[in-house]
């Protein structure tokens, strides 16, 4: 029965490595997927690519001077508002991701500090 302590030590280190792989690799993948999904869902509302494509087209096919001017003005503000919302969501996801990455390190440092 000499192999039991060696097996337990091996499984201990394996589980530690597996935890960090799960936390950083799998967690990063899930957060990245959620970020992309959120941007895709927001694109259903803001449709920035389509707004850029039809930027100089009149709004609602109103080819009068007012329709052309209002089309540019409304689309411009839609692009600005959409860009600000995209930027805000990106910053929120970045803050969450950085907190996610730092959590195990902070816990380890705090635990080491209390031991010393």
pLDDT in tens, 3-19: 888 899 999 999 999 99
pTM over 0.75: yes
CA-based nearest residue to 89, from 53, 40, 38, 21: 38
What pLDDT is attached to residue 1? Answer: 55
Rounded Cα–Cα distance for residues 22 and 27 (Å): 6
Structure tokens at 29: 């993948």
Query: pLDDT grade, residue 81 (50/70/90)?
Result: very high
- The residue whose two tokens read 């039809």 is 54
Structure tokens at 32: 């990245």
């Amino acid at each position: 029965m000499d192999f039991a302590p060696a097996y337990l030590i091996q499984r201990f280190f394996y589980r530690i490595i597996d935890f960090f792989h799960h936390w950083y690799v799998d967690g990063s993948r899930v957060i990245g997927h959620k970020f992309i999904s959120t941007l895709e869902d927001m694109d259903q509302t803001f449709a920035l690519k389509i707004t850029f494509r039809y930027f100089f087209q009149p709004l609602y096919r109103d080819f009068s001077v007012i329709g052309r001017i209002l089309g540019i003005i409304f689309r411009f503000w839609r692009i600005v508002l959409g860009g600000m919302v995209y930027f805000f969501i990106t910053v929120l996801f970045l803050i969450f991701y950085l907190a996610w990455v730092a959590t195990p390190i902070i816990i380890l440092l705090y635990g080491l500090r209390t031991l010393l």
